[in-house]
Protein backbone atom coordinates (compact mmCIF):
# COMPACT_ATOMS: atom_id res chain seq x y z
CA UNK A 1 0.00 0.00 0.00
CA UNK A 2 1.19 3.52 -0.79
CA UNK A 3 0.25 6.92 0.58
CA UNK A 4 -1.08 8.55 -2.54
CA UNK A 5 -0.72 12.08 -1.26
CA UNK A 6 1.50 15.00 -2.12
CA UNK A 7 1.26 16.83 1.22
CA UNK A 8 0.73 16.19 4.93
CA UNK A 9 -1.32 19.12 6.25
CA UNK A 10 -3.27 17.53 9.12
CA UNK A 11 -4.62 14.19 10.34
CA UNK A 12 -8.19 15.31 9.65
CA UNK A 13 -7.46 14.70 5.96
CA UNK A 14 -6.12 11.13 6.44
CA UNK A 15 -8.12 7.91 6.73
CA UNK A 16 -7.57 5.38 9.53
CA UNK A 17 -5.88 3.12 6.93
CA UNK A 18 -3.44 5.89 5.98
CA UNK A 19 -2.59 6.59 9.64
CA UNK A 20 -2.03 2.85 10.18
CA UNK A 21 0.23 2.74 7.11
CA UNK A 22 2.39 5.57 8.52
CA UNK A 23 2.63 3.87 11.94
CA UNK A 24 3.46 0.48 10.38
CA UNK A 25 6.14 2.09 8.21
CA UNK A 26 7.54 3.86 11.28
CA UNK A 27 7.75 0.46 13.01
CA UNK A 28 9.94 -0.76 10.13
CA UNK A 29 12.15 2.30 10.39
CA UNK A 30 12.54 1.75 14.15
CA UNK A 31 14.29 -1.48 13.22
CA UNK A 32 16.69 0.50 11.00
CA UNK A 33 17.40 2.84 13.91
CA UNK A 34 18.51 -0.09 16.08
CA UNK A 35 21.25 -1.02 13.59
CA UNK A 36 24.92 -0.10 13.93
CA UNK A 37 24.66 1.90 10.69
CA UNK A 38 21.32 3.72 11.04
CA UNK A 39 20.94 4.74 7.43
CA UNK A 40 19.13 3.58 4.27
CA UNK A 41 19.35 4.99 0.73
CA UNK A 42 15.55 5.38 0.41
CA UNK A 43 15.58 9.14 -0.35
CA UNK A 44 18.88 9.38 -2.18
CA UNK A 45 18.54 12.18 -4.76
CA UNK A 46 15.58 13.79 -2.93
CA UNK A 47 16.14 17.37 -1.68
CA UNK A 48 14.33 18.57 1.45
CA UNK A 49 14.12 22.12 2.83
CA UNK A 50 13.43 22.57 6.55
CA UNK A 51 11.71 25.96 6.79
CA UNK A 52 11.16 27.03 10.40
CA UNK A 53 9.48 30.37 11.09
CA UNK A 54 9.05 29.47 14.80
CA UNK A 55 11.52 28.08 17.34
CA UNK A 56 11.84 24.32 17.66
CA UNK A 57 14.16 21.83 19.28
CA UNK A 58 12.51 18.40 18.92
CA UNK A 59 10.65 18.74 15.61
CA UNK A 60 13.44 20.43 13.66
CA UNK A 61 16.21 18.14 14.86
CA UNK A 62 14.03 15.08 14.48
CA UNK A 63 13.09 15.92 10.87
CA UNK A 64 16.70 16.69 10.04
CA UNK A 65 17.90 13.43 11.53
CA UNK A 66 15.12 11.50 9.75
CA UNK A 67 16.19 13.07 6.44
CA UNK A 68 19.84 12.16 7.04
CA UNK A 69 18.89 8.58 7.98
CA UNK A 70 17.06 8.36 4.63
CA UNK A 71 20.08 9.77 2.69
CA UNK A 72 18.21 12.88 1.46
CA UNK A 73 19.97 16.18 0.63
CA UNK A 74 19.01 18.87 3.14
CA UNK A 75 18.89 22.67 3.26
CA UNK A 76 17.82 24.63 6.33
CA UNK A 77 16.05 27.97 6.72
CA UNK A 78 15.64 29.83 10.02
CA UNK A 79 13.56 33.00 10.09
CA UNK A 80 15.99 34.88 12.32
CA UNK A 81 18.86 34.61 9.83
CA UNK A 82 16.82 34.90 6.62
CA UNK A 83 15.65 37.66 4.27
CA UNK A 84 12.29 37.63 6.07
CA UNK A 85 14.14 40.16 8.25
CA UNK A 86 14.32 42.38 5.12
CA UNK A 87 10.58 42.06 4.49
CA UNK A 88 10.39 39.06 2.13
CA UNK A 89 6.96 37.44 2.10
CA UNK A 90 6.17 33.78 2.79
CA UNK A 91 5.19 33.23 -0.84
CA UNK A 92 8.39 34.78 -2.21
CA UNK A 93 10.51 32.85 0.26
CA UNK A 94 8.93 29.50 -0.64
CA UNK A 95 9.02 30.18 -4.40
CA UNK A 96 12.73 31.01 -4.14
CA UNK A 97 13.38 27.80 -2.21
CA UNK A 98 11.46 25.84 -4.83
CA UNK A 99 13.48 27.47 -7.62
CA UNK A 100 16.48 25.64 -6.12
CA UNK A 101 14.74 22.37 -7.14
CA UNK A 102 13.56 21.26 -3.74
CA UNK A 103 11.26 18.19 -3.64
CA UNK A 104 9.83 18.44 -0.11
CA UNK A 105 9.33 21.46 2.17
CA UNK A 106 9.02 20.73 5.91
CA UNK A 107 7.61 23.91 7.42
CA UNK A 108 6.70 25.31 10.82
CA UNK A 109 4.82 28.60 10.77
CA UNK A 110 3.00 30.68 13.39
CA UNK A 111 -0.10 31.19 11.23
CA UNK A 112 -2.78 28.51 11.05
CA UNK A 113 -3.34 27.69 7.38
CA UNK A 114 0.10 28.79 6.14
CA UNK A 115 0.73 25.30 4.73
CA UNK A 116 -2.62 25.13 2.95
CA UNK A 117 -1.79 28.50 1.39
CA UNK A 118 1.60 27.15 0.25
CA UNK A 119 -0.02 24.19 -1.53
CA UNK A 120 -1.78 26.69 -3.82
CA UNK A 121 1.49 27.62 -5.55
CA UNK A 122 4.16 25.04 -4.63
CA UNK A 123 4.85 21.92 -6.66
CA UNK A 124 7.02 20.53 -3.88
CA UNK A 125 5.38 18.41 -1.19
CA UNK A 126 4.55 20.30 2.00
CA UNK A 127 4.89 18.65 5.40
CA UNK A 128 3.28 20.45 8.31
CA UNK A 129 5.71 20.69 11.24
CA UNK A 130 3.21 22.88 13.13
CA UNK A 131 0.97 25.71 11.94
CA UNK A 132 -0.27 28.19 14.51
CA UNK A 133 -2.97 26.66 16.68
CA UNK A 134 -4.23 24.37 13.91
CA UNK A 135 -2.20 21.17 13.57
CA UNK A 136 1.01 19.30 14.39
CA UNK A 137 0.38 16.01 12.63
CA UNK A 138 3.79 14.38 13.09
CA UNK A 139 3.64 15.06 16.85
CA UNK A 140 0.28 13.28 17.06
CA UNK A 141 1.63 10.40 14.94
CA UNK A 142 4.63 9.93 17.24
CA UNK A 143 2.33 10.11 20.27
CA UNK A 144 0.16 7.42 18.68
CA UNK A 145 3.14 5.22 17.80
CA UNK A 146 4.23 5.42 21.45
CA UNK A 147 0.75 4.44 22.66
CA UNK A 148 0.38 1.63 20.10
CA UNK A 149 3.67 0.13 21.27
CA UNK A 150 2.22 -0.05 24.80
CA UNK A 151 -1.30 -1.18 23.91
CA UNK A 152 -1.17 -2.87 20.52
CA UNK A 153 -4.53 -1.26 19.67
CA UNK A 154 -6.42 2.01 20.10
CA UNK A 155 -9.89 0.48 20.18
CA UNK A 156 -11.70 1.47 23.36
CA UNK A 157 -8.61 3.06 24.92
CA UNK A 158 -9.17 6.30 26.83
CA UNK A 159 -6.83 9.27 26.44
CA UNK A 160 -7.25 12.47 28.46
CA UNK A 161 -5.61 15.62 27.10
CA UNK A 162 -5.04 18.21 29.83
CA UNK A 163 -4.30 21.93 29.73
CA UNK A 164 -4.21 24.70 27.16
CA UNK A 165 -6.52 23.07 24.60
CA UNK A 166 -7.31 26.35 22.85
CA UNK A 167 -3.76 27.14 21.73
CA UNK A 168 -2.66 23.54 21.21
CA UNK A 169 -2.08 22.25 17.68
CA UNK A 170 -0.86 19.07 19.41
CA UNK A 171 -4.28 18.59 21.03
CA UNK A 172 -6.13 19.19 17.76
CA UNK A 173 -4.02 16.67 15.82
CA UNK A 174 -4.23 14.10 18.63
CA UNK A 175 -8.02 14.45 18.71
CA UNK A 176 -8.25 13.70 14.98
CA UNK A 177 -5.75 10.86 15.00
CA UNK A 178 -6.92 9.08 18.13
CA UNK A 179 -10.65 9.26 17.35
CA UNK A 180 -10.08 8.02 13.79
CA UNK A 181 -8.20 5.03 15.21
CA UNK A 182 -10.98 4.16 17.68
CA UNK A 183 -9.76 5.70 20.96
CA UNK A 184 -11.97 7.80 23.24
CA UNK A 185 -10.67 11.31 24.00
CA UNK A 186 -11.49 13.49 27.01
CA UNK A 187 -10.32 17.11 27.22
CA UNK A 188 -9.68 18.88 30.54
CA UNK A 189 -8.47 22.38 31.31
CA UNK A 190 -9.59 25.81 32.46
CA UNK A 191 -12.80 27.01 30.76
CA UNK A 192 -10.84 30.05 29.51
CA UNK A 193 -8.64 27.67 27.48
CA UNK A 194 -11.44 25.42 26.19
CA UNK A 195 -12.81 26.53 22.79
CA UNK A 196 -16.57 26.59 22.22
CA UNK A 197 -17.86 23.48 20.39
CA UNK A 198 -14.52 21.64 20.78
CA UNK A 199 -16.59 18.57 21.73
CA UNK A 200 -17.59 18.33 18.04
CA UNK A 201 -13.98 17.90 16.87
CA UNK A 202 -12.67 14.53 15.67
CA UNK A 203 -14.41 11.42 14.43
CA UNK A 204 -17.56 11.22 16.59
CA UNK A 205 -16.54 14.08 18.88
CA UNK A 206 -14.80 14.19 22.26
CA UNK A 207 -15.81 14.62 25.91
CA UNK A 208 -15.06 17.84 27.81
CA UNK A 209 -14.55 17.56 31.58
CA UNK A 210 -13.48 20.52 33.71
CA UNK A 211 -12.91 18.49 36.90
CA UNK A 212 -9.40 16.99 36.78
CA UNK A 213 -10.16 13.99 39.00
CA UNK A 214 -13.16 12.95 36.90
CA UNK A 215 -11.14 13.52 33.72
CA UNK A 216 -8.33 11.14 34.69
CA UNK A 217 -9.99 8.53 36.93
CA UNK A 218 -10.57 6.11 34.00
CA UNK A 219 -7.75 7.25 31.68
CA UNK A 220 -5.39 4.74 30.07
CA UNK A 221 -3.10 7.65 29.13
CA UNK A 222 -2.87 11.35 29.92
CA UNK A 223 -1.27 13.83 27.55
CA UNK A 224 -0.23 16.98 29.44
CA UNK A 225 0.04 20.14 27.34
CA UNK A 226 2.42 23.02 27.71
CA UNK A 227 0.86 26.30 28.82
CA UNK A 228 1.59 28.47 25.77
CA UNK A 229 2.12 31.86 27.36
CA UNK A 230 3.53 33.21 24.07
CA UNK A 231 0.16 32.66 22.33
CA UNK A 232 -2.02 34.20 25.08
CA UNK A 233 -3.13 37.75 24.30
CA UNK A 234 -4.82 38.13 27.70
CA UNK A 235 -4.21 36.49 31.06
CA UNK A 236 -6.26 33.26 31.03
CA UNK A 237 -5.50 32.11 34.60
CA UNK A 238 -4.54 34.03 37.75
CA UNK A 239 -1.06 32.61 38.36
CA UNK A 240 1.18 29.64 37.53
CA UNK A 241 0.91 28.51 41.16
CA UNK A 242 -2.88 28.44 40.99
CA UNK A 243 -2.81 26.64 37.61
CA UNK A 244 -0.61 23.92 39.10
CA UNK A 245 -2.92 23.56 42.11
CA UNK A 246 -6.03 23.05 39.95
CA UNK A 247 -4.79 21.43 36.72
CA UNK A 248 -1.15 20.48 37.36
CA UNK A 249 -0.18 16.79 37.47
CA UNK A 250 1.62 16.09 40.74
CA UNK A 251 2.39 12.59 42.11
CA UNK A 252 -0.69 12.92 44.38
CA UNK A 253 -2.94 13.83 41.43
CA UNK A 254 -1.54 10.98 39.32
CA UNK A 255 -2.63 8.51 42.04
CA UNK A 256 -6.24 9.37 41.10
CA UNK A 257 -5.64 7.82 37.64
CA UNK A 258 -5.63 4.03 37.16
CA UNK A 259 -2.39 2.22 38.00
CA UNK A 260 -0.31 2.03 34.83
CA UNK A 261 -1.81 5.14 33.27
CA UNK A 262 0.71 6.39 30.71
CA UNK A 263 2.00 9.96 31.13
CA UNK A 264 2.81 11.92 27.95
CA UNK A 265 4.00 15.44 27.21
CA UNK A 266 4.92 16.78 23.76
CA UNK A 267 7.58 19.12 25.16
CA UNK A 268 8.95 21.59 25.85
CA UNK A 269 7.78 21.17 29.47
CA UNK A 270 7.07 23.86 32.02
CA UNK A 271 8.12 21.84 35.06
CA UNK A 272 6.17 22.89 38.14
CA UNK A 273 3.37 24.51 36.10
CA UNK A 274 1.57 21.77 34.16
CA UNK A 275 3.67 18.81 35.34
CA UNK A 276 5.64 18.10 38.51
CA UNK A 277 9.28 17.12 38.32
CA UNK A 278 8.58 13.70 39.90
CA UNK A 279 5.89 12.90 37.31
CA UNK A 280 7.94 14.09 34.33
CA UNK A 281 10.84 11.87 35.41
CA UNK A 282 8.70 9.10 36.92
CA UNK A 283 8.12 5.48 35.82
CA UNK A 284 4.80 6.18 34.08
CA UNK A 285 6.26 8.87 31.79
CA UNK A 286 7.07 8.08 28.14
CA UNK A 287 8.26 11.58 27.28
CA UNK A 288 11.68 10.60 25.95
CA UNK A 289 10.35 7.49 24.12
CA UNK A 290 7.97 9.93 22.38
CA UNK A 291 10.99 11.90 21.16
CA UNK A 292 12.75 8.70 20.09
CA UNK A 293 9.68 7.65 18.07
CA UNK A 294 9.60 11.05 16.38
CA UNK A 295 12.55 10.17 14.16
CA UNK A 296 10.98 6.94 12.89
CA UNK A 297 7.60 8.61 12.34
CA UNK A 298 9.18 11.45 10.34
CA UNK A 299 11.20 8.96 8.30
CA UNK A 300 7.93 7.17 7.51
CA UNK A 301 6.11 10.37 6.52
CA UNK A 302 8.90 11.59 4.24
CA UNK A 303 9.42 8.16 2.69
CA UNK A 304 5.71 7.67 1.96
CA UNK A 305 5.18 11.19 0.59
CA UNK A 306 8.16 10.63 -1.71
CA UNK A 307 6.31 7.65 -3.13
CA UNK A 308 7.81 4.80 -1.15
CA UNK A 309 5.98 1.58 -0.44
CA UNK A 310 5.65 0.26 3.11
CA UNK A 311 7.16 -3.07 2.19
CA UNK A 312 10.41 -4.82 2.93
CA UNK A 313 12.28 -2.44 0.61
CA UNK A 314 12.17 0.09 3.48
CA UNK A 315 14.66 -1.84 5.52
CA UNK A 316 16.58 -3.45 2.67
CA UNK A 317 20.15 -2.46 1.87
Question: Which positions touch ligand CP (CB under 6 A)?
Answer: 56-59, 130, 139, 266-268
- Tell me the sheet residues that pair with 264: 223
Strands of the sheet with 47-52, listed across from one edge: 73-78, 47-52, 104-109, 125-131
Pick the catalytic residue from 86, 101, 233, 235. Answer: 86
- The verdict on whether 136 is a catalytic residue reads yes
Compute the least distance from the CB of residue 211 to ligand CP, in Å. 27
Provide the Cα torsion 96, 98, 99, 101; round to 10°. Answer: 150
Gap between the Cα atoms of 53 and 64, Å rounded: 15
- The verdict on whether 109 is a catalytic residue reads no
Pick the catalytic residue from 69, 108, 226, 298. Answer: 108
Burial grade of 111 (CB within 10 A; 0-12, 13-18, 19 or more): middle
Compute the least distance from the CB of residue 128 to ligand CP, in Å. 11
Compute the least distance from the CB of residue 58 to ligand CP, in Å. 4
User: What value, to the nearest 5°, has the Cα angle with vertex 48 and ends 46 and 51?
Assistant: 170
Q: Which is nearer to ligand CP, 59 or 293 (CB)?
A: 59
Q: Which is nearer to ligand CP, 130 or 163 (CB)?
A: 130
Q: Which is nearer to ligand CP, 63 or 208 (CB)?
A: 63
- Tell me the sheet residues that pair with 221: 159, 262
Compute the least distance from the CB of residue 274 to ligand CP, in Å. 14
Compute the least distance from the CB of residue 309 to ligand CP, in Å. 28
Q: Which is nearer to ligand CP, 130 or 202 (CB)?
A: 130
Q: Which is nearer to ligand CP, 58 or 207 (CB)?
A: 58
Residues whose CB is less than 8 angstroms from the CB of residue 58 and which lie 6 or more positions away in sequence, other chains included? 266, 267, 268, 291, 294
Compute the least distance from the CB of residue 138 to ligand CP, in Å. 9
Gap between the Cα atoms of 127 and 100, Å rounded: 18
Q: Which is nearer to ligand CP, 125 or 139 (CB)?
A: 139
Contact status, residue 287 vs residue 247, Cβ threshold 8 Å:
no
Pick the catalytic residue from 136, 148, 169, 226. Answer: 136
Pick the catalytic residue from 6, 58, 79, 271. Answer: 58
Helices and strands counted in the chain (H then E)? 11, 9
- The verdict on whether 226 is a catalytic residue reads no
Pick the catalytic residue from 20, 25, 30, 59. Answer: 59
Residues whose CB is less than 8 angstroms from the CB of residue 99 and which lie 6 or more positions away in sequence, other chains included? none
Gap between the Cα atoms of 178 and 65, Å rounded: 26
- The verdict on whether 30 is a catalytic residue reads no
- The verdict on whether 186 is a catalytic residue reads no
**Hey, which residues are catalytic here?**
58-59, 86, 108, 136
Amino acid sequence: MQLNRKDLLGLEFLSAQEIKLILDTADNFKEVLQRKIKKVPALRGVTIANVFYEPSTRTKMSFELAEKRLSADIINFAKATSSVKKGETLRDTLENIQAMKVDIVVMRHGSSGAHKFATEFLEASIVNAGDGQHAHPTQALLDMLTLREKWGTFTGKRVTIIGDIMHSRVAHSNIWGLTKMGAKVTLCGPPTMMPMDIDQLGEGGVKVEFDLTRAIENADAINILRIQLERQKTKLFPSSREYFEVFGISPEVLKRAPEGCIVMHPGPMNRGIEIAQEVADGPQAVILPQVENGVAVRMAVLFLLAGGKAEEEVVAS
